[in-house]
């Protein structure tokens, strides 16, 4: 397995080490990986947090086209869906509630 270095940035949307430890299972290192998955995930979180365009990503994140490709591959293989379900269960357990919610709310 390759050892791909992680270069931390310093944005409010970046993950803590504890958060990455929980989420890293959803982003295994592929045989062709050249960029650390944490860097890619943090770039996506930056985009979501700031509502910027792909090409407007700060230069201390991976190249915008790499981040975009990562994002859409994660949609296609249900990574985002699985990660959100995991986080929802984790939060509900911490809140001493049943693991699966019985309803949802949408705010417009």
Q: Which residues of the chain have pLDDT under 50?
A: 1
Predicted confidence at residue 104, as pLDDT, reads 66
Q: How many domains does the chain have?
A: 1
Residue-number span of the structural domain to which 87 is assigned:
17-94
Give the helix/strand (H/E) hosting 43.
Answer: helix 37-50
Taking the chain, what is the end-to-end CA distance rounded to the nearest angstrom? Answer: 45
3-state SS, residue 84: helix
In a domain, 52, yes or no: yes
Predicted confidence at residue 102, as pLDDT, reads 61
Predicted confidence at residue 30, as pLDDT, reads 75
Q: Which pTM was predicted?
A: 0.82
In a domain, 101, yes or no: no
In the block, tokens 């890619």 appear at 40
In a domain, 67, yes or no: yes
Cα(1)–Cα(19) distance, integer angstroms: 23
Predicted confidence at residue 1, as pLDDT, reads 45
């Amino acid at each position: 397995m390759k050892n791909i270095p992680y270069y931390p940035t310093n944005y409010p949307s970046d993950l803590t080490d504890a958060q990455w430890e929980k989420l890293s299972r959803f982003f295994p290192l592929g045989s062709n990986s050249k960029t650390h998955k944490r860097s890619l995930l943090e770039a996506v979180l930056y985009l979501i947090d700031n509502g910027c365009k792909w090409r407007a990503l700060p230069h201390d994140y991976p190249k915008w086209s790499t981040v975009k490709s990562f994002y859409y591959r994660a949609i296609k293989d249900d990574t985002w869906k699985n990660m959100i379900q995991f986080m929802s269960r984790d939060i509900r357990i911490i809140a001493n509630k049943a693991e699966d919610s019985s309803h949802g709310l949408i705010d417009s």
